[in-house]
Amino acid sequence: MKKFINKAADFVNEMIQGILAAHPDKVKIVNNDLRCIINAKSYKGKVGIATGGGSGHLPLFLGYVGDGMLDGCSVGGVFQSPSAEQMFEVTKAINQGAGVLYIYGNYGGDIMNFDMAAEMADAEDIKVVSVVAGEDVASSPKGQEGKRRGVAGIFFVYKCAGAAALEMKNLDEVKRIADKAAANVRTMGVALSPCIVPEVGKPSFSIGEDEMELGMGIHGEPGIERGKLKTADETVQIMMDKILEDLPYSSGDEVAVLVNGLGATPKEELYVMYRKIAEILNGKSIKVYKAYLGEYATSMEMAGASISLLKLDGELKSLLAKPANTPFFEQVQLEG
């Protein structure tokens, strides 16, 4: 296991200590718990937005806590859900009297704990509503969207909802916008190699030296096709066909694109993929408003990538364009 770590059991806490040391102006912890992170700044009367999930996915989840995105986040061990109590502590800390929106991925443990935290908040008269993101088209067929895993596309939900909350929209409005973003995003991933969870010490799955797995999840959940390595263009074509037909995205649509590296995949390769994505979208007269490329939701040192598309309307576009300033994502106001 080749990693820059000390003791495996200390990996997550030491990582968070590093984040706190590097970004003291942006984030802090609450309840003296390293796993409960909130924005260092607060805005009176603003709807609070919280997320949470397992560690090992940086920038997900806690990396998006900051201005114009999220107010708080609780994280668990690597690939493990945080507890309901931790989510509740974050909820209390970010409540500014306007209620709290939970945005999190569609995983059983997270749902159970977030629901419990919402009940605990309700008992203290903090209004909480939830948006569960699940947009991985490879994880469940069309018609069963409710069973889909949440992956990198949740970035778009955070971004649009976060901008709306900073405009001081009320809880119903921020939830409506988060729901709309979540409904208009689709993702598909591909994996080339596994990662190693430090406390496990061995690869999360095995895959042949000449193989790739299309549709694999960010915890190594099975995909839809294991086969010989394809060219970048062939791989992108399969992924885009599946994504485009699903919503569907059609001629005349305007989209934002996210090409996400899973951890070990160089930026060069993401751009080789994007070349083909742009060609496909151009061929279908789907206009790209903004392309994001880099690491947005990873699986530590897994090699692979995912493609996400967000269909924009005027409202989502204007919210996506707003500035953001978090430890892992900075954006100046976009033009157009």
Residue 92 beta carbon to its own copies: minimum distance, rounded to whole angstroms: 26
- 219 part of the active site: yes
Cross-strand bridge partners of residue 51: 73
Enumerate residues 290-329 that contact its own copies by CB under 8 A: 291, 293-295, 298, 300-301, 303, 305, 323, 325, 328
Amino acid at 217: G
Which of 38, 49, 50, 58 is the binder for its own copies (CB under 8 A)?
58
Catalytic hit among 57, 92, 290, 311: 57
Residue 287 binds its own copies, judged by CB under 8 A: no
Residue 144 binds its own copies, judged by CB under 8 A: no
Residue 2 binds its own copies, judged by CB under 8 A: yes
Collapsing DSSP states into helix, strand and coil, what is residue 112? helix
| Closest to 227 measured CA to CA, from 210, 203, 243 | 210
Enumerate residues 181-210 that contact its own copies by CB under 8 A: 192-193, 195, 209
Query: Residue 174 is encoded by which pair of tokens?
Result: 């921020």
Q: What is the dihedral of CA 164, 167, 173, 176, to 10 degrees?
A: -10
CA atoms within 13 A on the CB side of 118: 20
- Distance (Å, rounded) from C-alpha 37 to C-alpha 145? 30
Q: Could you tell me which residues come within 8 angstroms of residue 208 by beta carbon, excluding any fewer than 6 positions away? A: none
- Distance (Å, rounded) from C-alpha 189 to C-alpha 307? 6
Site string for its own copies, 63-82 (x = CB under 8 A): x-------------------
Catalytic hit among 219, 242, 276, 322: 219
With respect to its own copies, which residue has the nearer C-beta, 5 or 112? 5
Which of 233, 254, 280, 318 is the binder for its own copies (CB under 8 A)?
233
* 3-state SS record for 240-285: HHHHHHHCCCCCCCEEEEEEEECECCCHHHHHHHHHHHHHHHHHCC
Q: CB under 8 A: which stretch of 69-77, 177-185, 215-223, 226-234 binds its own copies?
A: 226-234
Which of 116, 224, 272, 280 is the binder for its own copies (CB under 8 A)?
272
With respect to its own copies, which residue has the nearer C-beta, 4 or 125? 4
Residue 10 beta carbon to its own copies: minimum distance, rounded to whole angstroms: 9
- Distance (Å, rounded) from C-alpha 11 to C-alpha 13? 6
- Distance (Å, rounded) from C-alpha 100 to C-alpha 119? 12
Residues that bind its own copies (CB under 8 A): 2-6, 11, 14-19, 21-23, 25, 55-56, 58-59, 63, 192-193, 195, 209, 212, 229, 231-233, 235, 263-275, 278-279, 291, 293-295, 298, 300-301, 303, 305, 323, 325, 328, 330-332, 335
Q: What residues are labeled active site?
A: 57, 219
